[in-house]
Amino acid sequence: MRMYKGQVVNTSDLAEGGSLAVDAGNNLGIVDVYYTSPFGGDFSPKGKAGFFALPEVDSMILFVRVDSEYYYLSTIHRRDIESTVETGKNIIKDRVEQGHIPPGLYSQATPSRLVMMDRKGNTMRFNHAYDESNGFSTGIDLISRDRKKLLLNDSPNCYGIYLQNEEGDGITIGSGYKDGYTAGPKIAPREIAINTAGKVSVTSRKSSIRMLVKDGQDINIRNESVGMVNLEPAVLPAGPISVTEPYGNIRVSSDVRDIYITAGDGHKFMQLTLGQAAWSPLTHRSRVMIKALGEEGLVQISSDGKIIIRAPSDNIYIHGGSINVKSESDLNLHAKASVNIAAGTTVKLSSNILALLEEGDSEFRPSFVDEITEQNYDFTFYERTAVDVPIATPYGHIELGAGVLINGERIDLAPVAPPTRARKAVHPYFELSDYDASVELPS
């Protein structure tokens, strides 16, 4: 067996058997050299087993002759420019000027890293370095040509797992810190952080998505977007800024079934099991709180079916600057005790409002009764009739109790001011969220 040195000039192999064309100089010329591996096997579930890293063109290698065939032995990283085949490129020259070994392999002149790299820049590194300025650096790095990274880091200041693309978007999994080790100042022990400038999507195609805090703290969902990335100038550079997409919203939707918001299921179970003395409601409570803050705040509930509000064992409070209740048919009030109505000034009740609109005095009747809105009625018809002029109201009918009836134009029990019609309750127009408006409006 004799050993030779040569340079790989061609790696093309139609048979895909690992044959290399190697220029061995004046002694042999160009010969075929077969690749060898320190490990291998003829069969495996998905092909041949082994370690396959064929040297690339321009590599200087050692190879041996066994019988009449040549076999690859190893790659030489120390080489001279004069011994290379001229390719019209300066790749080898550049590498010689930079050193034969990838940067970072040595720490204080001592090898401190195992590196596997192809000529495209795809790299696997095993780190085990220490120096006084940077401290320990240990772990495994997998880095692609375009700098996508998977880092398994055991270093004191980077103790965790890091997955990143070339833009810096990625996932960080912090480890349980020990002996002063930390994954960095922005992540807690054993925290999993997803950081990206783009969208985050979670999809389950065949099962469910579950978020559970077993014995920790809160689940927080917060949107701090102010829409800066959605602002684009109009066609004219001097034109106003326009919002092209919704921003700042939090949406929860179910296309075909229910949405449940429940608080205190475990709290109720523990009270029934242990009693209020052992499970105090002052410490453990359940509240569902919905707030819309600011002068333009709005809480809106809309249903194509029923809306049910229940608190059979406690009070229901409704408090507003002005409260309006409208029913498309009957309005029913039922109390097992008293019905109490307290007004700061006047209590007004009017019936047969539609008849008033359709048959009332033409002087006060709007031109298009069918098109009048509730707001128009409230602010035009009511204002015009709320004057100190007696107006006949034959449609009023108030029954106070058995045998007691008030019906007619007026009651002369005592001197009273001329009767006026009660103000009709109104409600605001239905308002769309930013997202709904962007879907409904044409682009």
**Would you say residue 197 lies in a domain?**
yes
What pLDDT score does 6 carry? 93
Q: Closest by alpha carbon to 318, among 332, 299, 338?
A: 299
Q: What domain count does the chain have?
A: 3
Q: Facing residues of 34 across strands?
A: 19, 71
- Which of 71, 100, 129 is the endpoint of a domain? 100
Inside any domain, residue 291: no
Which pLDDT does position 146 carry in this prediction? Answer: 93
Give the residue among 259, 279, 257, 258 at the shortest CA–CA distance from 269.
279
Q: Give yes or no: residues 40 and 83 share one domain.
A: yes
Q: Distance (Å, rounded) from C-alpha 21 to C-alpha 152?
A: 38
pLDDT of residue 428: 66
One domain for residues 96 and 114: no
The torsion region of residue 17 among left (phi > 0), alpha (psi -120 to 50) and beta comes to alpha
Same domain flag for 365 and 412: yes
Query: Which pLDDT belongs to residue 263?
Result: 83
Do 152 and 76 fall within a single domain? no
Chain centre distance of CA 235: 31
Q: Which of 65, 100, 135 is the last residue of a domain?
A: 100
Whether residue 345 is found in the same domain as residue 443: yes
Amino acid identity for residue 197 in this structure? A
Specify if 221 maps to a domain. no
Residue 246 is assigned to a structural domain of this protein: no
Q: Does 162 lie in the same domain as 81?
A: no
Same domain assignment for residues 26 and 86: yes
Of 69, 100, 131, which closes a domain? 100
Regarding whether 73 and 133 lie in a shared domain, the answer is no
CA distance 97 to 91: 10
Q: What is the pLDDT of residue 162?
A: 94
Q: What is the pLDDT along the chain (443 residues), one digit of tens a residue?
A: 789 999 999 999 888 888 999 999 887 899 999 999 888 877 667 677 888 888 989 889 999 999 889 999 999 987 554 444 444 444 444 444 455 677 777 777 777 888 888 878 899 989 887 766 666 788 999 999 999 999 999 988 888 999 999 999 999 999 987 877 888 878 888 899 999 988 899 999 999 999 988 888 888 888 888 877 666 554 555 555 555 677 888 889 888 889 988 887 777 777 778 877 777 766 677 778 888 888 888 999 989 999 999 888 888 888 888 888 888 888 888 888 877 777 777 666 666 655 555 544 445 444 444 444 555 555 554 444 444 344 444 445 455 544 444 544 444 444 444 444 545 556 666 677 766 677 655 54
Q: What is the CATH number of the domain that holds 37?
A: 2.40.50.140
Q: For residue 320, is it within any domain?
A: no
Kindly state whether residues 121 and 165 are assigned to the same domain.
Answer: yes
Write down the pLDDT at residue 375.
53
Residues 6+ apart with CB under 8 A from 133: none
The answer as to whether 359 is a domain residue is yes
pLDDT for the residue 74: 93
Amino acid at 284: H
Spatial neighbors of 321 by CB under 8 A, at least 6 apart, are none
Containing structural domain, residue 31: 1-100
